[in-house]
Structure 1
Amino acid sequence: MRRHRWWMAGLAALALLKGTFFVVDETQMAIVTQFGRPLYTLNVKGDEAGLHAKWPFQGRRLLDRRLLIYNPLPTEFLTLDKKNLIVDNFVVWRIADPVRFLQAVGDIPGGEARLHDLVRSEVFAALGQTPLEALVSVDVQKLHLDDLMAKVTEQCRDRALREYGIEIVDVRIKRLNLPEQNKQSVFARMRAERERMAKQYRAEGEEQALKIRAEADKERTRLMAEAYRRAQEIRGQGDAEAARIYAQAYQRDPSLYRLLRTLETYQKSLNEGTTVILSGDSDFLRLLIQGQKALEAKR
């Protein structure tokens, strides 16, 4: 019986110690309560981690003091120009006022539920005042998504801290997508736009090709005309030089010149298949008939 009493006393002492002492981790904050009413907080700023004590009849509630990330399900919104978008966003938050947080929402899932409603309403209002090209565009100057989300974050932060004891660090969009029923029409417009641009580029290319060909033909004609003119000049100079040489040769020995010219003419005009009908006193045949006498008679 005495040993049983010692066991009972030991268990009671252990229960008393367990209800009195508790450990607060560096990643946690604690709220000490008495009959459900908060008395004081511990390690809110991260400088009170360790072993703490309280009265056994008092309770304690541990909360996470780290940054938390809430990922709501993608939601469909409407832009200013009546375009439907599926927005997938996330919220970075932490518990700033543990007492207000405990009284207003109670726990982490409750806080995420409040954040869902708050952030969704602000994002809906912001996107409803923004055209699609300010959210999705190839022109960087037209994009205002970062400014828009910074404004949403600021508007959500004040209300969340005041009503729920939650500090919203950032609200960002992970992905913007189109509803399934709109994708095909958008893809068709994109294909039509790309085909229009391709036709435009082809037309511009053909126009440039025609210009290049015209310039090339013009340059070819000019070069050929210049070459023909130069050839005619050279040919004329050659003919003049030949005539000068012929004249000099004729002046030195007219009979020899006539002989050579006559023989050259015979070579060009007479062959085995040539038939020539001329009178007997023709100058063309005199050399063949009379020989050297014809040349001497010419003198």
Structure 2
Amino acid sequence: MSVKMSETLKIKPKILVGVILGLVLLTLNLIIYTVDTTEYAVVTQFGNPVNTVLQPGLRIKLPEPIQSVQRFDNRVQIYEAEPLELLTSDKKSVKVDYYGTWRITDPVTYMKTVKDKVGAEARLQDVFSSSLGVKLGQYNLDELISVDTNKLKLNAMMQDTVRKSKEKAKEYGIEVVDAQIKVLNFPEANKQSVFARMKAEREQMAKKYRSEGSEEAAKIRADAEKEQKILLSEAYKQAQKLKGEGDAEAIKIYGEAFQKDSKFYEFTRALETYEKTIDEKTTLVLPSNSEILKYLENGKVGK
């Protein structure tokens, strides 16, 4: 009997320690919580926010149900919107398929106004659709869809939409980061007229490019012809100069030859004349004292 009593006394301290440790762990679990790097935390006391935690780490609170922790994703999130049918400034109906990106900036305001992601996206649908409808209604269709990039204002329209959406989303503790159009389409009734207009614009641009090409080709031809005339003029000038220099050199040579032997010079000149004017079929009728007959005698050159 005494042995059993001693064994029971030995077991009770172990049980007591285990109970105490269990209570400590339970208490710590109730008052200590962690905040991840991807989230914000709001501590509420009987449903009212009393503390906002924006940085990750271990935190302490009162045990539930006195205080509770609401967690919200702090990363950029994507809102996939339903396509909208809107009107442009020139009353053309377009179908807009778009998406937006957003994140929580004020978790307390977010919790009070939209509560969760489902509520946030319901508000964002109103924010994006109204902002996009207002801004798209300020542009004509040919400013949103055009083959002329200088005329295209789609990016400017989306930037205006993002700015307006940012202003509206602030009241929900949300920051609109960006919004982009995935597809800008037309109802079936409008497609043919839009395609016809785009085709006409493309043909107009093609005519413009052809006209500019013809103008440039004409300019190149004119420059080439001008350069040709200049080159021919320079060549003719050079040829005349060389010819003049050659004639002058010939005259000089003839003059020097005449000075050395005038009779021989006259003789060679006469031979050149005969060679140019007389052949086997030539008949000359000249007076006997003609100078040209001076070196001819019975068809032969005389002495």
State yes or no: 1:71 paired with 2:83.
no
Runs of 5+ in structure 2 lacking a partner?
A: 1-18
- Equivalent residue for 2:167, pick from 140, 145, 155: 155
Contact 1:24 1:30 in 2 (8 A): no
Determine what percentage of the aligned residue pairs are the same residue.
17
Give 1:175's match in structure 2, choosing from 168, 172, 181.
181
Establish whether residue 29 from structure 1 lines up as the match of residue 41 from structure 2.
Answer: yes
Partner of 2:5: none
- For the residue of structure 2 that corresponds to 1:89, the secondary structure is strand
d(CA) in 2 for partners of 1:152 and 1:291? Answer: 118
Aligned 1:13-92 pairs, distance under 5 A: 21=30, 23-26=33-36, 27-30=39-42, 32=44, 34=46, 38-46=47-55, 49-50=58-59, 52-55=61-64, 60=68, 62-73=70-81, 74-82=83-91, 84=94, 86=96, 88-92=98-102
In structure 1, stretches of 5+ residues that fail to align are 1-9
Please give the secondary structure, in 1, of the residue aligned with 2:210.
helix
1:52 deviates by 3.9
Distance 1:154 1:222 in 2: 74
Q: Structure 1 residue 215: deviation in Å? A: 0.9
Using the TM superposition, give the Cα deviation of residue 139 of structure 1 relative to its aligned residue in structure 2, in angstroms: 4.9
8 A contact 2:144–2:152 mirrored in 1: no
Q: Which amino acid aligns with 2:181?
A: R
Q: Deviations over 1:2-45 (max 9, x none)?
A: xxxxxxxx9xx99xx59x826353324245465xxx14445444
Taking a change above 3 Å as real, the CA distance of residues 111 and 258 of structure 1, as seen in their structure-2 partners, is closer
Alpha-carbon separation, structure 2, partners of 1:292 and 1:153 = 119
User: Aligned equivalents of 1:30 and 1:263: distance in 2?
Assistant: 128
Give the distance between the partners of 1:202 and 1:156, measured in 2 at CA.
Answer: 51
SS in 2 for 1:174: strand
What secondary structure sits across from 1:71 in the alignment? strand
1:93 to 99, 103, 106: 103
Aligned to 2:15: none
How far does residue 86 in structure 1 lie from its aligned partner after superposition? 2.5
SS at match of 1:124: helix
Q: Structure 1 counterpart of 2:98, which letter?
A: D
Change (3 A) 1:107 1:65: same
Map of 1:197 onto structure 2: 208
2:84 partner amino acid = T
More off after superposition, 208-217 vs 183-192: 183-192
Aligned-pair distance for 1:96?
2.3
SS of corresponding position for 1:169: strand
User: Could you tell me how far apart the structure 1 residues matched to 2:275 and 2:173 are?
Assistant: 117
SS in 1 for 2:89: coil
RMSD: 4.5
Q: What is the aligned counterpart of 2:233 among 218, 222, 237? A: 222
Cα distance between partner residues in 1 of 2:77 and 2:84: 17
Q: Deviations over 1:218-269 (max 9, x none)?
A: 31342244235424533542454355346425xx543x44443444444445
1:237 has 2:248 as partner: yes
Number of corresponding residues: 269
85-94 or 43-52, which moves further after superposition? 43-52
Give the secondary-structure state (helix, strand or coil) at the position aligned to 2:80.
Answer: coil
Between the aligned partners of 2:132 and 2:298, the Cα distance in structure 1 is 124
In structure 1, the partner of 2:219 is 208
Measured in 2, the distance between the counterparts of 1:286 and 1:135 equals: 103
Are the aligned partners of 2:105 and 2:175 in contact in 1 as well (CA < 8 Å)?
Answer: no
Where 1:178 maps in the other structure, the secondary structure is: strand
* Deviation digits for residues 144-190 of structure 1 (CA, Å, limit 9, x no counterpart): 457524531342134xx2xxxx3222242223643153773465245
**SS at 2:173's partner residue?**
strand
Q: CA deviation at 1:206?
A: 1.8
